[in-house]
Amino acid sequence: MPEGPEVQTIVTALKRCLHKHQISDIHFVSNADRKMLDGSDLDAFRKAVIGQKVVDVKRRGKFIVIQLSSEVNLVIHLLMTGQLLLGDPSMHDSPPRFLRCIFEFTDGQILCIADKSTWVKIQVLRESELNSYAEFLQLGVDVLEESFTPSAFQGLMNRSRIVHSLLLDQTVVSGLGNIYVNECLFLAGIHPGRRANSFSEGEVLALYFSISHVMREALSHGGTTFSDYRAPSGERGRYQDYLKVFKRKGQECYRCGTTIERIAISGRGAFFCPKDQIILGDEKVKALSQGIKSEQGSLYIADAMSSITRANFVFVLIGSSSVGKTTLSRVLKDKVPFLQLVPTFKTRPRRPGEDAGIDSIFLSTDEFSRLKASGEIALSAFIHGHHYGTPINRLRSTLESGQDACIILSPEGAQDLKALMPNTIVIGVEPPDTDIIKQRTLERLDYTDTERRERLGAVIEETHEKGITDFTITSVSPQAVFLDAVNIIYSVRCSTSRLRSDVFEGR
């Protein structure tokens, strides 16, 4: 069945081509009106529609709504195999297969409805009837509309239902089908058999942003075509070329190399990576009791990590002192699936509250020099009288394990890392204005007086250089910065155009 991106692709094309054009005639083939109009009177249908102009074309979930000038709306549901195809009068001579209905327009355009399964339905509704139409009243929040927000989605996840089934329920969220549910769960690292109310805050956000960006990417490629779906131009969708998990049973996971598995959930196929999308403990027992069946008899957990090096991302945070980079990196590490914080070697003294080993490894100057000489430090810098460096082995092991890396660097270090690794994404964290950063610097108790004077003098210079960053976040509040960062991470992970490389160059 066409899902949200496919239906929106059709709606956009129809609106562009048919807006303000007048319907001159309608023909049904082989009494197809009996099923398509669901028993409604054909003469009444023709009288209500012929002679009317197309005022607008909209989407409601998986329904297409063609608004006509007489305040009549054609509500079309394509179901499994329906197609809406636009053309010129030559389509009369070479009609599409499974033709069921033809709309003719005064400018010569023809809109054909083709349907192999003869399930397409057309409903005629007055404008006053739209909002009370039973099918529309049951629709949940639309994943392609502005009403689909993190807070709205969080409210939907407070349920004990299995998430795969929940996301397919159009009364909960509309516009998603099985293809995109599989993709979004994979990108969020969530097993399709998990219960929605078992998710952490980070998992809910990961799933929300996966849905948002997968839908946008699919829409940009005209949807997904495996069999019958076509755009009104007759073109196939192209997003199937970018699917990461759906229908990939037996193939390697793009992230970690583990073999993709398939299970059945309520009669629908769910594809997943048994290493990246795990289900544990009581949840596993509950899932099995609900009829989730493994086709390979496994417990969904890989025994060993793949040795294959994967092309994952390095997210680099840059920005001035006291802008909140360290706080942000720690929250991202704790709440974003598949993201590990790579610590930085530092020769300065440890400050109060710093967690050694998490984001910092403190060394003497001699130890730092020894590691640098042995090639164990990928990048290094001398800032405010101290040495800073990136441990190459920690960075490599993070990426090879199928994780993305997060690291804090100077602008120069970010440039150097980009030269080494094309998969480096630089996120600049900016203050709302320099006065705020100066005030934060003055209030920091972990700085010595000397450090405070040096940092205040360097506030403007430390603000990241334009042109280095791929994305920029304004540090208005910790929660806003976190949401912006997660949004960026998933825009990159879901992108179908960003470069990926399997090679750590020069190592």
Give the active site residues: 2-3, 62, 268
Contact residues for 147 (Cβ-Cβ < 8 A; gap 6+): 141
Contact residues for 466 (Cβ-Cβ < 8 A; gap 6+): none
Closest CA to 327 of 208, 156, 485: 485
- Return the ∠ at Cα 427 (arms to 223 and 450), rounded to 5°: 170
Q: Specify the amino acid at residue 174.
A: S
For the chain, percent helix, then strand, then coil, each to nearest 5? 35, 25, 40
**Backbone angle region of 51, left / alpha / beta, with phi > 0 → left and psi within -120 to 50 → alpha:** left
Q: Cβ distance 332 to 341 under 8 Å?
A: yes
Q: Cβ distance 403 to 337 under 8 Å?
A: no
Q: Specify the amino acid at residue 421.
A: M
Closest CA to 337 of 219, 217, 194, 468: 194
H or E, element range at 1: none
Distance CA 245, CA 254 (A): 8
Give 413-470 as a DSSP string: HHHHHHHH-TTEEEEEEE-SSHHHHHHHHHH-TTS-HHHHHHHHHTHHHHSPPTTT-S
Number of Cα atoms under 13 Å in the Cβ half of residue 436: 12
* Residue 26, beta-bridge partner list: 103
Closest CA to 171 of 214, 141, 209: 141
SS (H, E, C) 263-324: EEECCEEEEECCCCCCCCHHHHHHHHHCCCEECCCCCCCCCCCCCCCCCCCEEEEECCCCCC
Strand order from edge to edge, sheet including 110-115:
23-28, 99-105, 110-115, 82-87
The span from the first CA to the last CA of the chain, in angstroms, equals 47
Distance CA 171, CA 141 (A): 8
From residue 51, how far is each of 16, 72, 104 by CA, in Å? 19, 12, 10
Distance CA 276, CA 493 (A): 15
